[in-house]
Amino acid sequence: MGLLRSLRLVLAGPHRAGWPFIAAGGVVCLVGIFVSPWLAACGAGFALACLGFFRDPDRVPPGRPGLVVAPADGRVIAVGAASPPAELGMGSAMRPRISIFLSVLDVHVNRMPVSGRVTRIAYRTGRFFNASLERASAENERNALALRLPDGRDLAVVQIAGLVARRIVCLVHEGDAVRLGERFGIIRFGSRTDLYLPPGVAALVEVGQIMVGGETVIAELGGDGPALPPAEAP
């Protein structure tokens, strides 16, 4: 079963955002066939690398109500408390934050952590520090979404560009109703995704855990959790 899942992950079709890159590699490969074997190999290698990077496997979110799932694949690099991005207008009070680092080998399609409604989307230009650094949350280029839960609480999910990632794609709009596990965007070539939970909700993951976007449970909305320490810079 584990082998079958791994094969499905590796052989998954690409996200539509990747087709221009894959096509470009294919064109270079075709030209190289008539010009230079080296150029053909480079084009084919680039196209295959993009097929791997932009893979978009299907995911099955948990069916139990009240769960928050990982908005991205990758490794948890921080669990603490921080203020959500100011541009979202959610106030400056500290709330639980989980940060996920995506390497170039991870699936980069972002998925909705909850069902609800998008109340605000705010894009902010910035720097391109290594996404594994704490300062990346505050200083890097980012796209932040505020989500309103059916019970009136809100949370935020933030797409953050990294050292190599220079293009954030968001496929939803303000006012859209969204579902748990639904695809909402992609970040190209290495990045970070931050999730800000409603106050009092406990994070159920720890630093070092590997996340599966749209499937791994990060929190339960029903229970009050312990206060989390402020996020510390590595």
Kindly list the catalytic residues: 191
**CA atoms of 223 and 141, how far apart (whole Å):** 33
Q: What is the rounded distance in angstroms from the CA atom of residue 112 to the CA atom of residue 205?
A: 17
Q: Which two tokens stand for residue 111?
A: 């998925």
Taking residue 208's Cβ as centre, other Cβ atoms within 10 Å add up to 9
List strand residue ranges (DSSP E) for 10-131, in order: 67-69, 74-82, 95-102, 109-111, 116-124
Secondary structure string (H, E, C) spanning 153-219: CEEEEEEEECCCCCCEEECCCCCCEECCCCEEEEECCCEEEEEECCCCEEECCCCCCEECCCCCEEE
